[in-house]
Structure 1
Amino acid sequence: MSDIDLSVEAARPTMPLSKPGKLIEKKSTDEDANTTAQTYQDYQTKEAKIGNEDVTMLDCTNVMPTKNIEKSPKRLIQNQGKKRKEKTSIKGQNFKKTKLGVKNDADCNAVTLSIPTATNILYPDGVVKLTWVNGYTKTDDHITLEEIVQKDSLKGAVISAMLFDFTWLSAQFNHGQHPVVVICPAICKSSALTFVKTIAGFGSNVSKRVRGKLMTASRVVSPRGACMHSKLQLLFHSEHLRVVISTANMRLHDWGETGSTENIVFIQDFPLTTEQKSNELPIFAQDLQRFCTFQNVPKDVVNKLVSYNYSKAKVGLVFSIAGEHAGNTMDMDNEVMKSSGYPMLARVVRQLGLRTDTVEIEYTTSSIGVLYETFIVRLYNAACGEAPTGRSINVDVANWSQVCQRFQVYYPPQSTVDKTRGASSNVRKLRIIPDLKKIRKIPFDMIRYCLSKREGCRMHNKIMKVIPRQSGLAPWHYIGSANLSQAAWGRLQTDPTGRQHNLILENWEMGVVIPGDAIKVPDPVKKPGIAYAVQSP
């Protein structure tokens, strides 16, 4: 019985397989990528056809499928060669209680497998934490990437960022045990393919059959658009899906390893369910599916999102899809205009019941674009829950002075960056773009010095804290990848006729709006900060 090939490697649940031979959604012109893709295809073509046996097990060995129970041990031994040439089909969501046994065999006892318990679901209600930083005291508010990934129970992963250190990142995953989808800028494709190959087990003692299977389910995706800046992780475990939205790139210093930089991260675990249909998904899950679809995440992964229970999602996703989104003057509140950028922020604010007339905003950012008055006013209105307006620019600017008093931007000047740990190797100078001087009101009185509560730590956080001025309403937060720029939140462009409005977004971004009473959000910034207008940077 011990010779039958139903090992953990053969029976490990994975995400559904995609079409063989494809690694990326579009054919790459990169010579290295094509060469690597052909190598993977060679492995895939050597695989035998997938069998039809359903094995409902997680980590059991030497157990036969139920359909062979009536066969005698002698017949089973005769079929060993045939079994070795077949692959076992695993349905990742089929965790029904099943009894697997063998008749007339003293060497193998019956095994009973139950529905997985929720022991590994650590964050069913969601949590926001700061990244751990080496050299500082670690508290319950801090977390490492290793603690987030939980690689020993991981069954599949989707990871995305703008910048990667693939050598360091490969140590965060077990090799030869699960597929991985990497969403990255086109410039990273070649390195990402090598990383995916490493995670699949190439260069280790993992069998060719397992490597080929993992490579079939893995992908490297580069979405269209000027800047792939979103930072989303989908971590598939046996019992749940972990959704991670952070401000951190996939590099060791972004996750505190070098003791220089801190970020912030939202985490929530969603358990498996068999009672949910695709047309019954809550808005959170619908938006997650839509974003992944636009980013060309493999269809089988997108479809797998239906298999989880999102009833405890009390937050709203806000993202930016790079490109041009069309609207019109008569219907600025249409679905297209609400699907991305700051119009989507306004929509989510209304959906979560956070709409109010007046707010105060504290925006912590690690980069600043051109702070045109119209952009600041429209972002402010979106935080109040107002739908995009097709009115002229002059009307929006009319209340600029009031908005300027209620909108504070926390951004580190050069002098602050120079004093942080590791400044010599990772210093980015503060640049106030010359176009600001052409604006009627230079917004230096809005910008505050940004200092971390962890003395000497450089912040890469993007946090918008919105404080309603109406009594009885708790502050809410946006955290995510979007810096304070039109490239991230969107720029409204009107055609010469005045009838057509286009929302133009240059970046891919992903963030989450957290109502005040839903989840505790740590504030890493020393407040109040000194205004740039008071002390020149």
Structure 2
Amino acid sequence: MSHNLDKPNSDDEFAELQFSQFDTLLDEGAVCISDTESDDDVLIVGETPAKLLPISAPPQSTLAQTSHCSFQPALPPPNSATSQRSPHTILPQLSPRPGSARTSASPTQAVSPVLQYPTGVVRLTRYQDQPITSTTVSLSDLIQPNLQKAILSTFVLDLDWLLPHFADTTKLLIVKHYDPRIDRRGIYQAGRLTIVHPEFADQRFPIMHSKIMLMFYPRHIRLVISSANLLSIDWTALGNIVFIQDLPLLDEPRELYGFGLTLAQALRDLSVPEQAVGQLDMVDFSKVKAQLVTSVPSMAGRSKFHADAYGLARLAQVTIGIRKSLSPEQQRDWLTTHHCCYGSSMGKLTPEYLSDFYLSALGLDSAQEFRHLLSPATSTGSLSQRVHVGFHTQTQGKVNKFGSSARQSIKFQSSYYFDNHFPQDCLYKVEPVYKDCLIHSKIILARFGEMGRNGWIYLGSHNFTPGAWGHLRGGSRATRKVYVNNYELGVVLPGVTFERIFGRDSVLWNGLAVPLPFKMDWEPYGRDELPLIS
């Protein structure tokens, strides 16, 4: 069911900002953009929180740590100088390796352990009654000793559950979805905790849905990108997927490029203060093979300058690069690709949207280009049939072992399913690897070649919805623009192979197995089967 968010009062004490002021405020660590009404046809709400905690009333444990607890206004007071205005430090300067050009570590400073995940791995969240395995992870598992500070983002937040995971000395900067019913505009700080909201401009239903963690240690940074919110149910009662990579620090700062540059832009899009983003030039990204894919609302000021870097447009950029790296034979096989797309929230899909998504995910501009590359006589009428959309059935929702608390996080509006234009024949049943559990992950499997052996995988926060990936508006497809509603973030893992090992379907990337929360033998919905409608 859609959230009906009320428009904020026009006399709100926190001022509405124009994009021209946005970058300046990032440097000062205080950002606040108001949201106003706009078309809601792209609204897709991903989750319903099991527990919402208003940040205007933080936990008692948080208040006990500080004598100062206030909202900082977004705009500086009259006659204030930016260079003199520094009411608080959100994240202190990162401590590089001992002997670096910036600073030296204290002789008593503890040294972080050897990098656990130097080349990147995929893990699944561990259900509360599930045995510990090498393919699963809890939030506690991700937090190593000597954590100095962390940047976290989430759609829904439970501070009572989250804060005990971190030492009292760890500084936390949380980027949170803005809900006018419980949140106030501006930057919020209480002791070690700082909460900010990204820009929302001219939107009736703004959604900040990205889930990323950057954990700062004395000698490395841990990058975590997932589909899980920062609340208990997402880490103990729902199947979520997590990408983890440990990145060493450099001895000297280095100009950002590739993944590092894209990550810096993504953090700026989320209103992470520049003093924190600037620390990325001390990070070694040379072993990162994943490709970052983000979405930013089209009405946001930043999107106007980087419109080709988000949603479907960004996915196309990534897949064009993958296609160009293939051999001529593999490039021909590329045109046989099928996409299996799973998300916990269903969008307002149409056959036209599935075709647009399919072509974008191939890195092609049009159906005409597809026909030209394959065969002039090839019909494109079946392109939408190459997109299989996985979703839980009504029966699976009823028998899941965690009951309604898990079921409420799976969203499919009945008005979407029974719409005359919804392609019901694209729906496929997914069978969870862990029996009688529901899956909250957001995953795309792209398979091509003989037996679908080659391909790539997307994982992150994007549900398979127009609100997350964007939809095309305008005239011809070549001139149409992508319009996005949500903030989203995920990674594409290129060079994936799909194998049959010991009678089981397996996914390999970078020489390592990629665990999936579902089995790969999807089946079409039966005649009398219905999806889990909320």
**How has the CA–CA distance of structure 1 residues 507 and 498 changed in structure 2, closer, same or farther, with 3 Å as cutoff?**
closer
1-structure distance, mates of 2:434, 2:96 = 43
Q: Quick check: 1:506 aligned with 2:497?
A: no
Following superposition, the deviation at residue 189 of structure 1 comes to 3.9
Which aligned runs of 4 or more in structure 1 are off by greater than 6 angstroms?
18-22, 27-31, 114-118, 191-194, 388-391
User: Are the equivalent residues in 2 in contact too, given 1:343–1:388 (CA < 8 A)?
Assistant: no
2-structure distance, mates of 1:449, 1:191 = 42
**How has the CA–CA distance of structure 1 residues 486 and 27 changed in structure 2, closer, same or farther, with 3 Å as cutoff?**
closer
Among 290, 294, 297, the alignment partner of 2:272 is: 297
Among 350, 355, 365, the alignment partner of 1:372 is: 350
2-structure distance, mates of 1:474, 1:358 = 11
The aligned residue for residue 351 of structure 1 is 321
Following superposition, the deviation at residue 141 of structure 1 comes to 0.2
Q: Quick check: 1:264 aligned with 2:241?
A: yes
2-structure distance, mates of 1:502, 1:112 = 52
The aligned residue for residue 222 of structure 1 is 198
Q: Quick check: 1:399 aligned with 2:380?
A: yes
- Residue deviations 1:333-373, cap 9 Å, x none? x9945300011111112224366222011112111111112
- Residue deviations 1:214-272, cap 9 Å, x none? xxxx452333261001111111111111111100011101011xxx2120000111100
User: Are the equivalent residues in 1 in contact too, given 2:359–2:367 (CA < 8 A)?
Assistant: no
The aligned residue for residue 250 of structure 2 is 273
Instruction: Count residues with an aligned counterpart.
Output: 425
Q: Quick check: 1:186 aligned with 2:178?
A: yes
Matches within 5 A, 1:58-457: 92-93=95-96, 95-96=98-99, 113=107, 119-150=113-144, 152-175=145-168, 177-187=169-179, 189=183, 197=190, 199=192, 218-224=194-200, 226-256=206-236, 260-278=237-255, 281-324=256-299, 336-352=306-322, 353=325, 356-387=334-365, 399-404=380-385, 406-428=386-408, 430-434=412-416, 437-439=419-421, 442-457=422-437
1-structure distance, mates of 2:121, 2:399 = 31
Q: TM-score of the superposition, structure 1-length normalised? A: 0.69
What code does the residue aligned with 1:222 have?
P
- Say which SS state the counterpart of residue 403 (structure 2) adopts: coil
**How has the CA–CA distance of structure 1 residues 32 and 286 changed in structure 2, closer, same or farther, with 3 Å as cutoff?**
same
**How has the CA–CA distance of structure 1 residues 430 and 407 changed in structure 2, closer, same or farther, with 3 Å as cutoff?**
same
2-structure distance, mates of 1:269, 1:192 = 32
**How has the CA–CA distance of structure 1 residues 189 and 174 changed in structure 2, closer, same or farther, with 3 Å as cutoff?**
farther
2-structure distance, mates of 1:493, 1:529 = 32
Following superposition, the deviation at residue 294 of structure 1 comes to 1.5
- Say which SS state the counterpart of residue 366 (structure 1) adopts: coil
1-structure distance, mates of 2:55, 2:100 = 48
User: Are the equivalent residues in 2 in contact too, given 1:129–1:522 (CA < 8 A)?
Assistant: yes
Following superposition, the deviation at residue 32 of structure 1 comes to 5.0
- Report percent identity of matched pairs: 25
Following superposition, the deviation at residue 494 of structure 1 comes to 0.9
1-structure distance, mates of 2:479, 2:319 = 25
Among 466, 470, 473, the alignment partner of 1:490 is: 470
- Say which SS state the counterpart of residue 308 (structure 2) adopts: coil
Following superposition, the deviation at residue 153 of structure 1 comes to 1.4
Structure with larger Rg: 1
User: Are the equivalent residues in 2 in contact too, given 1:131–1:144 (CA < 8 A)?
Assistant: yes
What code does the residue aligned with 1:220 have?
V
2-structure distance, mates of 1:390, 1:306 = 43
The aligned residue for residue 466 of structure 1 is 446
2-structure distance, mates of 1:261, 1:244 = 18
The aligned residue for residue 516 of structure 2 is 523
- Say which SS state the counterpart of residue 233 (structure 1) adopts: strand
2-structure distance, mates of 1:435, 1:472 = 29
Following superposition, the deviation at residue 274 of structure 1 comes to 2.7
2-structure distance, mates of 1:402, 1:91 = 49
What code does the residue aligned with 2:96 have?
Q
Following superposition, the deviation at residue 376 of structure 1 comes to 0.9
Following superposition, the deviation at residue 309 of structure 1 comes to 0.4
Q: TM-score of the superposition, structure 2-length normalised? A: 0.70
Following superposition, the deviation at residue 430 of structure 1 comes to 4.0
